[in-house]
Amino acid sequence: MKKILNAPQDYADQALQGMCLAFPHLYAQSGEAGRVITRAAPAKDKPGIVSGGGSGHLPTFAGYVGAGLLDACAVGNVFAGPAVMDCIDAIRAADNGKGVLLLFGNYGGDKMNFAMAAEMLEAEGIETRTVLASDDVGSASRDERVKRRGVAGLIYAYKVAGARAEQQGATLEAVAGVAQRALDNTVTIGVALSPCTVPEAGKPTFSLAENEMEMGMGIHGEPGIRRGPLLAADTLADEMLSTLLKDGGLKAGDRVAVMLNSLGATPLEELFILWRRVQSGLAAQNISWFPPQIGRYATSMEMAGASLTLMKLDKELEQLLAAPVASPWWSNAQ
């Protein structure tokens, strides 16, 4: 295992410390072990938004704390859900008396711990709503969408819910509603080219032959749709796009938000090679697009590969996407 670290057990904690030291005007640490990330300047008089999940995916989850996005985030060890007490502390930090939206991926440990936290805080009078991301088309069929994993599409939910929560008079129900609508219209598929190594495990999470790729693999190395020979970039882009267009029921005249995401090791050059084919494929279907997000948004340590996310837009969703944010990881350049 070759990684830039000190002790494997300190990996997550020191990464969070470094992020907060790099952006002290944006982030602050709290919680008993510093695993709760909050805004440096807490918001007032708005519904709160909290997320959480394991380390190893930066900038997801904690990186999206900031104005126009999340109010707080609870972070676990690499690929492990956050502790119940950290979930509790994050919800308390985000509460302004207008309720808190719990917005995270569809994973068993995260669901269990956030549900326990919400139940315990109900006695304190903190109202919560939960919306789960389940955008990974490689993890279950459309008919069983409730079983799907949440992956990069969660970031679009952060963005639109965060913008809605900042609007004057926003309610918890309205914020939860727009997050759910965003996710109902979002689909993602990923492709893995190589594994990653969890520091405390010290060995790769899975194996792929030199000439192999796996379509639909999850961001923790969960099994995908199929494993086969490495495809040329244009062929790969065509397969990913056609899968999402079919699953999302997208058609001529629709408008979409597009995210091409590196899973960690894949460089921008390769994402742009994919993008030239994706945008021509969208244009061929007479589907227009919001300025794309291309880069590292939801990673899996140093895994090589990429994911493609499409969110079907309506007027409100597009306006919320275009709203300003305070984040190093989101660009509204148009």
CATH number of the domain residue 203 falls in: 3.30.1180.20
Looking at the annotation, which residues are catalytic?
Answer: 57, 220
Structure tokens that stand for 225 in this block: 């749709």
* Cα 45 to Cα 303: distance, rounded to the nearest angstrom: 40
The pairs formed by 171-176 with CB atoms below 8 angstroms and a separation of 24 or more are 171/47, 171/98, 171/99, 172/47, 172/98, 172/99, 172/100, 172/101, 172/127, 172/129, 173/129, 175/47, 175/49, 175/101, 176/101, 176/129, 176/131
CATH number of the domain residue 175 falls in: 3.40.50.10440
Q: Give residue 47's Cα distance to chain centre.
A: 20
* Cα 100 to Cα 46: distance, rounded to the nearest angstrom: 9
* Cα 136 to Cα 13: distance, rounded to the nearest angstrom: 28
Please report the pLDDT score of residue 334 as a whole number: 52
Tell me whether residue 22 is in a domain.
yes
Query: What is the layout of strands, in order, in the sheet containing 128-133?
Result: 27-30, 36-39, 72-78, 48-55, 100-105, 128-133
- Give every residue of the chain whose pLDDT is below 70, as ranges: 332-334
How many domains is the chain built from?
A: 2
Please report the pLDDT score of residue 56 as a whole number: 97
* 289 in the same domain as 194: yes
Please report the pLDDT score of residue 117 as a whole number: 98
CA dihedral sign of residues 275, 107, 57, 257: positive
List CB contacts of 169: < 8 A, sequence separation 6 or more: none
Query: In the listed set 184, 211, 242, which residue is the last one of a domain according to the structure?
Result: 184
Query: In the listed set 131, 165, 184, which residue is the last one of a domain according to the structure?
Result: 184
DSSP 90-101: HHHHH-SSS-EE
Tell me whether residue 10 is in a domain.
no
* Cα 325 to Cα 329: distance, rounded to the nearest angstrom: 10
Q: Which domain holds residue 214?
A: 186-322
Tell me whether residue 75 is in a domain.
yes
Record the pTM. 0.97
CA dihedral sign of residues 179, 182, 183, 188: negative
The pairs formed by 119-124 with CB atoms below 8 angstroms and a separation of 24 or more are 120/84, 120/88, 121/88, 121/91, 121/92, 124/92
Three-class DSSP category at 160: helix
Please return the burial class of 24, using the count of CB atoms within 10 Å of its CB with bins 0-12, 13-18 and 19+: exposed
* 162 in the same domain as 92: yes
pLDDT tens digit string along 248-264?
A: 999 999 999 999 999 99
The H or E element spanning position 307 is strand 305-312
Residues facing 1 on adjacent strands = none
Number of H helices, E strands in the chain: 8, 13
pLDDT tens digit string along 296-323?
A: 999 999 999 999 999 999 999 999 999 9
Tell me whether residue 82 is in a domain.
yes
Please report the pLDDT score of residue 32 as a whole number: 80
